[in-house]
Structure 1
Amino acid sequence: MRTRHTLIAATALGTTLALAACSSGSGSGSDGDRLDNGDLSTVSIGIHSGWDEGIAVSHLFAAMLEDDGYSVTSEEADPGVVYTGITGGDFDLNFDMWLPTTHADYWEQYGDEMEDLGTWYDDAKLTIAVNEDAPIDSLDELADNADLFDNRLVGIEAGAGLTRITQDEAIPTYGLDDMEYVVSSTPAMLAELKGATDAGENIAVTLWRPHWAYDAYPIKDLEDPEGAMGDAEEIHTVGRTDFAADYPTLSKIIENFTLTDEQLFSLENQVFNEDGGSDPAASVRTWLDANPDFVTELKDKAGV
């Protein structure tokens, strides 16, 4: 469904999240020391490389868990490697399974060996976005107003699922064939988006939710009355077999964990835009300092 490319180089994203050195085969298993809350004391997180929301949330949970005395490790890999690692016991958790479409094949293949721990975001989708003060609100208005956007639709990488969906579905559905569809890169698209919004100019770009650009720039999604960009998806947290039994307290927290658009976009913006993605562990600490009630409210909701 989708290939993800980000503005941030991956060099800062394969680092250990916490107290122990990260390595393959670091899953906690069913044995080990337990904390006073009944949970195993070590947690390993598998992270999808290049998926900003999962990277940010994984580091957020790592910080929260460190503060509660857990030893946390992480490793980045492609989704297939992560899910294989979860079923093989190399990882305990993944915070970024998109359902019912994007990761449906993985769930069909590995779902019997994983536990669905809950949905934390329910509006993940592919979009076409414009500047907030653009004079249109729907994709079915774009063709008639293409000249206001210099007859250009700015896209990302050629191999991205978003590019394919836009080219094969949105453009023919809404009669956008006369617009120049600029297939470039995510950094180039974001640079054009920043330049246009800073200058107060109209621009139309392909984008996806969740993304930090929604917090960084004054933009809005165009409505998609024909559903050409696909339905919204949910982002689930999944764990290895017996996760809930090994982590009774953490399971309750994850079950009650949700992020609003405002929270998620500001978290991603802090990690990948404000701080440049160089130190996600420090960035989530900055975000937690700016949202001092977040952890307390989450724990209260979970009853732990």
Structure 2
Amino acid sequence: MDLYSVFYDLVSQVPRGMVTTYGALAEALGDMAAARAVGYMLSVNPDPENVPCYRVVHSDGKVGKYTHPLGTQEKVRRLENDGIRVEGERIVGFENVLFTDFHTDHPLRRLREEQKRKRAMLSLETDITGNDVAAVDVSYHGDEAFAAAVVQRGSEVHVRTAVARVRFPYIPGYLFYREFPAIREVVRDIDGVLLIDGNGVLHPSGFGFASQAGVELGIPTIGVAKSLLMGQVEGQNVIVGGRPVARVLGRHCIVSPGHRVSLEDAVGIVRLLPNRHLYPMLLTMAHREANSLRLSELAHGGGERHLREGKEQGEQEGQGNAH
């Protein structure tokens, strides 16, 4: 989904002589969790002359910041040019000029409903048919995503990379829609299990990024997070709702099943993989490759969307057939 275009259309609906708020725009998108993303998208508005981001203010009537060399001063000038009175950087008669009547289908609400439907397809019974063990990660620069997958097949390690334009900002609970388009390009034919830097069922919805990616791709996935998102730790188990949903293997290695793998089998697979400080080296390699791709693309100007594939001998990274 191109949420940027949807958002800028909403901002463009605010008529001359009226203002709206960050919260009103988040509600129009369908989730107040998007409030911070609203601020970010306003700050990178590519067409401020036609998308009047200066008409977005704080909920208490304060004008707020403005991405312009003159900052708030320029924002006030534009608002007053619209016929809005401002005193002490606060809008006079704020309630009378507040616009909230957006024409919207609340896209985030629709995505949340989609997540609920996909969650019904989730399986935590182990069903791994192939021998691949892969890991994937994404690095970012502006609206560019740089994805890398490291695929272990027998004694060989294959590296795949892809560059894609990102049209979805980071919003808590919607990471899948930001990262998946780039990840999909590098993991299309994985025949085994995929490790993802993130959470599986260890998530407020019970359906984190690793779980949703597994359902969407139709492959077994495991979430490996570096920090604890939620739950109580008892021994090594992470307890949510009275039952173990993840396991802490190390200070920065928290394993939760994504899709088509049980908690015990997910932990067993991760334990068998070569690691550094208990964190799987395959994920470390994917992180390194994604960052390397980003730096390389920026050094050469970038701009081209593409898929690359290479191969390394497994012994070069100390990798063996661990699954």
Q: TM-score range by the shorter chain?
A: under 0.3
Higher strand share: 2
Q: TM-score, normalised by structure 1?
A: 0.27
Give TM-score, length-normalised by structure 2.
0.25
Which structure has more relative contact order (CA 8 Å, sep 6+)? It is 1
More helix by share: 1
